[in-house]
Structure 1
Amino acid sequence: MTSLKLFLKGIKCFMNLIIMKRLSKYLMYLLMVYGMITCNNSDKKLPNTTSNQIQFSDQQLYTIDNSGISILWTAHKFTNIVDVSGTFNTYIFESKKTSGTVENILNKSKLSIPTATVNSSNPIRDFKLDTYFFKAFNTSKIIGTITKAKENEGIIDLKMNHTSKKIPFTYAIEKDTIRLFTNLDLTYWKGEEALKTLNTECYELHKGTDGISKLWTDVDVVIKIPAHKTLIIN
């Protein structure tokens, strides 16, 4: 009886040993599979991270053409607002850098516009604008300096009528052209008297269907700068 117990006990120990070995083998197998899965997942994440970094750090470089710059202005008359648009035949745009990022090109650039070259496609109107507005406004030249340009917004220091004002503007790239947009309220430069002088001279021309002669104090301005892509830097 004692021998039988010892025999059964021996068999039990032997079976336990076999089970432990199998469990150890399965455990090792599971650890190996887990390791492979972890490594594969890590490998899959790397390209996305790298791609994001490249996308974030890419900067497009441009070269501008100063000779192709245009300045468009839009004034407003009548109570119900009718636009009168034009440009200037002569202006000087000076940039410290003619190539680089848009921000590098715009920052510290200067603009000078002789107001006698105003062009609204109407010679009689142009004469009146020069004589009854700009001369009354004491402004033979409009002078501007861009003091800040970053992330599609900027500040331009604009001098007219012996007065300098910092004016916000926005900018964007559209079809190989840098476009700057701003709105000028001429009262910031004490332009009320000059506007009154012009409106008196053009009283009937500024009269709408309601019989009121109206010339608005704000002017929309768009500056277009031709810009050609060069390369991308990281």
Structure 2
Amino acid sequence: MNKINWLVLGAAAVILSSCGGSTEPEEEKVEEKVIKECYYTYNPANSKMTWTAYKFTEKTPVSGTFNEVNIEGAEVLNDPIALLEGLSFSIPIATINTQNPERDEKIKNSFFGVLENTSVLTGKVQSLKDDGKAEVVMTINNREKVVEGTYTLVEGDFKFMATVDLAAFEALNGVEELNKICHDLHIGADGVSKLWEVIDVSFETKLNMDCN
């Protein structure tokens, strides 16, 4: 009887030892993460500025651009927001382009021509916030104002959009003068000649990105 008990105990010990896990701690595998650092540069060839004015009571858009937009700022940075926040711009109004040379001349002479010191529009990016809001300082009619707008930045693709109220720049005399020159062209379906005092602007660019 004792002999049988010892045989049973011995078999049980063998089974337990074969099914049990190792008591030695396993070595943790550490995966090495490769962190790439990217550097961003501004390329004027990738940039486009568009403005949209409105005529008629029903607010019909008339869009245009400028053939020349000069940008200055840091050359290379590893933070795209910091790079964009350091940009300043100057735009010669003589390069306005609405695809209509006669209209271009009227805007240059009858709108910008009656404003103060407005042969060149200037400004700078003041802040780009985490919530997608942006502030750009612009100078029109010799008045410097902060224009609030929104922006997006996705893998180097940047777009800024804002509405500029010309009343804030005391530039309504330019609006009135241009509407006077274009009175008949600004008459809508209701028989009223109207040129709106707000202009929508957008600026798009794609930053060059070099990651290593």
Q: TM-score, normalised by structure 1?
A: 0.70
Deviation of 1:219 after TM superposition, in Å, equals: 0.7
Cα distance, 1:215 vs. partner? 0.6
Give me the whole-angstrom Cα distance separating, in 2, the residues matched to 1:143 and 1:179.
18
Distance 2:128 2:76 in 1: 15
> What is the aligned counterpart of 2:189 among 209, 212, 221?
209
Structure with greater proportional helix content? 1
| C-alpha displacement of 1:226 | 2.4
> Deviations 1:155-177 (Å, cap 9, x if unpaired)?
11111111110114423338x53
Structure 1 letter corresponding to 2:57: T
CA distance in 2, matches of 1:93, 1:65: 9
What is aligned with 2:44? 66
Q: 1:60 to 1:204 in 2, by over 3 A?
A: farther
2:200 is equivalent to residue 220 of structure 1: yes
Distance 1:191 1:102 in 2: 34
Tell which structure's C-alpha radius of gyration is larger. Answer: 1
Residues 111-190 of structure 1 aligned to structure 2 (within 5 Å):
111-138=89-116, 139-151=118-130, 152-167=132-147, 168-173=149-154, 177-190=157-170
**Any residues of structure 2 matched to 1:7-18 within 5 Å, and which?**
none
CA distance 1:102–1:150, change in 2 (3 Å): farther
Partner Cα separation in structure 2 for residue 122 and residue 76 of structure 1 = 16
Unaligned residue ranges in structure 2 (runs of 5+): 1-24
2:68 paired residue number: 90
Per-residue CA distance 1:188-233 (angstroms, 9 max, x = gap): 1011111000000000101111101111111111111222332x69
**Partners of 1:97 and 1:104 within 8 A in 2:** no
Asked if the contact 1:74/1:220 (under 8 Å) is kept, the reply is yes
The alignment covers a number of residue pairs equal to: 209
Distance in 1, Cα, partners of 2:36 & 2:145: 34
Measure how far apart 1:80 and its partner are. 0.8
CA-CA distance at 1:133 after TM superposition: 0.2
1:114-153 residue CA offsets vs partner (Å, 9 max, x unmatched):
1121110000000000000001122111110112123233
Task: Please list the CA deviations of residues 75-125 of structure 1 after superposition, one character each: whole Å capped at 9, or x if unmatched.
Answer: 111111111001011121112244433201111210101112111000000
Number of the residue aligned with 2:14: none
What letter is aligned with 1:78? F
Cα deviation, 1:40-79, whole Å, max 9, x if unaligned, reads xxx9xx99xxx9xx9xx99865332123322111111111
**In the aligned structure 2, how far is the partner of 1:74 from the partner of 1:217?**
11
For the residue of structure 1 that corresponds to 2:57, the secondary structure is coil
- 3-state SS, counterpart of residue 186 of structure 2: coil
Match of 1:81 in 2: 59
How well do the aligned residues superpose, as a CA RMSD in angstroms? 3.6
Tell me the distance in 1 between the aligned counterparts of 2:107 and 2:94. Answer: 9
- Stretches of structure 1 that go unaligned for 5 or more consecutive residues are 1-35
In 1, Cα distance between equivalents of 2:55 and 2:202: 19
Contact 2:39-2:76 at 8 Å conserved across structures: no
Look up the SS of the partner of 1:187 in the other structure: helix
